[in-house]
Amino acid sequence: MKKIIFTDLDGTLLDHSNYSFEAALPALQLIKEKNIPLIICSSKTRKEIELYRKKLYNLHPFISENGGGIFIPKGYFESRDKGIEFKVEEEGAYNVFRLGARYSDLRKAIGELRAEGFNVKGFGDMTVEEVSVMTGLSIDEAEMATERDFDEPFIFVGAIHELPLLIDAIKKKMLNYTQGHFHHILGNSDKGKAVAILTDLYGKEYGEITTIAVGDSPNDIPMLERVDYPVIVQKHDGKYDRQIHIPSLIKADGIGPDGWNQAVLKLLL
């Protein structure tokens, strides 16, 4: 039976502080030896994910900006990614499924939320230098993080009891909210919908498959709900996110890439 692995990046495969995946190298090597597709499914942009695909020597499809876009290398599924319900666009070396909202609509919504009295500031309101300082990314990577298509990360300065009011205001605009390392405003897309599409395509390609997903934050919940083996790693404080409650959830014994490595080895050996 063919195994497929979906993974978040920040705080999961990548260390929270230095964005390194070194602790996960043993499992990554085993994945390559077994020829298991490793699908990056992240809130990061296309350019950010492409950077890590190069570092990982990864040639598989990937999911950007919390499920906003699916990028499939041309010919990967021998044209079996054609003819599904979502519009497929050719973009360079990829066939792209665009599931998310237009970025211009998300930027407009951020402005409207400020006008309504919410103290919010999106990546689009910040300089590259500000994004770099806030995220710990290099200037080059921070610039990649600001080149967005489907999802706007933002910071919210307000009392805890105001957050449900903010979420309600977002939903009234027919948009959605999720949370990773930042707050996010997005359209009618999430990681789970994108994972379901790719799972269907892999099923057509290989027949019976087994799916694994690894994450650490609430924005990973839709992804984790769609797979056979949902895994969460410990956050940088050694705790698991309290908002993640999924039947048969596997809690990795380790922080970030260390937990990722241990859990994946156990599932593959």
Catalytic residues, by residue number, are 8
Q: Label the pairing between strands 151-156 and 120-122.
A: antiparallel
**CA 168 – CA 174 distance, rounded (Å):** 10
Query: What angle do helix axes 256-268 and 25-33 make, rounded to 10 degrees?
Result: 30
Calculate the CA dihedral of residues 222, 226, 228, 231 and round it to 10 degrees.
-10
Count of residues for the chain?
A: 269
Cβ atoms within 10 Å, residue 246: 13
Tokens of 51: 């950077």
DSSP reduced 3-state for 175: coil
**CA 17 – CA 224 distance, rounded (Å):** 24
- 154, 184 in Cβ contact below 8 A? yes
DSSP reduced 3-state for 95: strand
**CA 217 – CA 11 distance, rounded (Å):** 9
**CA 130 – CA 123 distance, rounded (Å):** 9
In one-letter notation, the amino acid at residue 240 is Y
**CA 215 – CA 186 distance, rounded (Å):** 19
Q: What is the DSSP letter of 19?
A: -
